[in-house]
């Protein structure tokens, strides 16, 4: 191998010139083919990586668009399910209302609650019925569960109502079982209670409280609540009677105005 190295070292200039001459002749004789090879080499070396990146970017944009379409479809499907569920619940409520009979001598004006007043517990509300539909001041408001309140002001197509949960409201009531009477009111600290019920009176947990008809606003026999707890202090003549109202004032939607016939 040393003699080859020595020969190459001695004649390297001649070898170099020979190779350059051969390459020049090859380029002159096969220009088109050489250019094609060179072009492919350049394209393969420089263009292909960028083309590949472009394809990857296009695929990424396509996947992103597909994900967006799927998300939109999912949101629309969820919205439709929510609407169907709300329709089902409304049908259940209306099914409970159908067949509801007013007290004797009264007719029903169906109404929908469009706004409520109050933070911790609603104390007032507005309904979508007014003087055009025959709504008047002081008419009782009920739903299928029981007494809700009374009308306190009337406009042409709306009316404001005072709920039983307003501490300023009072309802003359009696127990369905013993027929003994008291006053139902809402206390901010204690909740719904039946006031002025004598300690010696006959009352039990679970007794039904209805309107007595005294006072001229609410007709007798409207469901008001149910007795929950009874305390009989020894030093005062009246019981502490806590009741649970029949109507849920946090979920009022459909109500009725009682119109005297």
**How many other C-beta atoms are found inside a 10 Å radius of the C-beta of residue 218?**
27
pLDDT score for 154:
97
Query: What is the dihedral sign for C-alpha 86, 87, 88, 91?
Result: positive
Residue 51: burial class (beta carbons within 10 Å; 0-12, 13-18, 19+)? exposed
pLDDT band at 97 (very low <50, low <70, confident <90, very high): low
Could you tell me where the beta strands, DSSP code E, fall in 85-165? 106-117, 124-127, 140-142, 147-154, 159-163
For 71-80, 91-100, 129-138, which range has the lowest pLDDT when averaged over its residues? 91-100
| Residues 221 and 211: beta-carbon distance below 8 Å | yes
How far is residue 219's CA from residue 256's CA, in Å, rounded to a whole number? 14
pLDDT band at 72 (very low <50, low <70, confident <90, very high): confident
Orientation angle between helical segments 2-29 and 31-42, nearest 10 degrees: 100
Task: Name the more confident of 71 and 210.
Answer: 210
pTM for the complete prediction? 0.63
More confident residue, 148 or 102: 148
pLDDT at residue 38 tops 60: no
**Among 98-102, 112-116, 185-189, where is mean pLDDT lowest?**
98-102
Tell me how far apart the 2 most distant CA atoms of the chain are, in Å: 136
Higher pLDDT, 142 or 93: 142
pLDDT the model gives residue 89: 58
pLDDT value of residue 172: 95
Of 56-60, 72-76, 98-102, 118-122, which one has max mean pLDDT? 118-122
Mean pLDDT, range 246-254, rounded to an integer: 91
The torsion defined by the Cα of 142, 146, 152 and 157, in degrees rounded to 10, comes to -20
Range of 12-26, 94-108, 223-237 with top mean pLDDT:
223-237
What is the tens place of the pLDDT at every residue in 104-157? 788 889 899 999 998 778 999 999 999 999 999 999 999 988 999 999 999 999
- pLDDT attached to residue 173: 95
Q: What is the pLDDT at residue 103?
A: 75
Interatomic CA distance for residues 100 and 143, integer angstroms: 9
**What's the pLDDT at 95?**
47
Mean pLDDT value of segment 158-166: 96
pLDDT in tens, 215-246: 888 999 999 999 999 998 888 888 899 999 99
Whether pLDDT at 32 is above 90: no
Nearest-CA neighbor of 103 among 221, 226, 244? 221
Mean pLDDT of 205-209: 94
Q: What DSSP assignment string belongs to 42-67?
A: HIIIIIHHHHHHHHHHHHHHHHHHHH
pLDDT at 39: 54
């Amino acid at each position: 191998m040393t003699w080859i190295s020595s020969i190459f070292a001695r004649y390297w200039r001649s070898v170099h010139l020979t190779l350059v001459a051969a390459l020049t002749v090859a380029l002159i004789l096969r220009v088109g083919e050489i250019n094609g090879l060179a072009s492919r080499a350049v394209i393969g070396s420089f263009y292909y990586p960028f083309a590949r990146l472009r394809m990857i970017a296009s695929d990424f944009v396509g996947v992103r668009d597909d994900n967006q379409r799927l998300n939109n479809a999912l949101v629309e499907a969820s919205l439709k399910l929510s609407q169907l569920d709300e329709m089902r619940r409304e049908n259940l409520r209306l099914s409970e209302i159908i067949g509801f009979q007013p007290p004797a001598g009264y007719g029903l004006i169906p109404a929908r609650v469009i706004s409520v007043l109050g933070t911790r517990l609603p104390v007032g509300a507005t309904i979508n019925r007014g003087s055009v539909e025959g709504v008047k001041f002081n008419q009782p408001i009920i739903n299928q569960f029981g007494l809700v309140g009374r009308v306190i002001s009337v406009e042409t197509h709306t009316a404001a109502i005072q709920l039983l949960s307003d501490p300023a409201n009072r309802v003359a009531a009696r127990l369905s079982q013993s027929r003994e009477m008291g006053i139902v009111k809402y206390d901010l600290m204690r909740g719904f209670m039946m006031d002025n019920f004598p300690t010696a009176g006959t009352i039990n947990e679970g007794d039904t409280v209805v309107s007595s008809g005294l006072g001229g606003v609410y007709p007798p026999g409207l469901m008001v609540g149910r007795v929950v707890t009874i305390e009989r202090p020894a030093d005062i003549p009246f019981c502490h009677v806590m009741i649970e109202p029949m109507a849920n004032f946090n979920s009022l939607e459909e109500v009725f105005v009682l119109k005297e016939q």
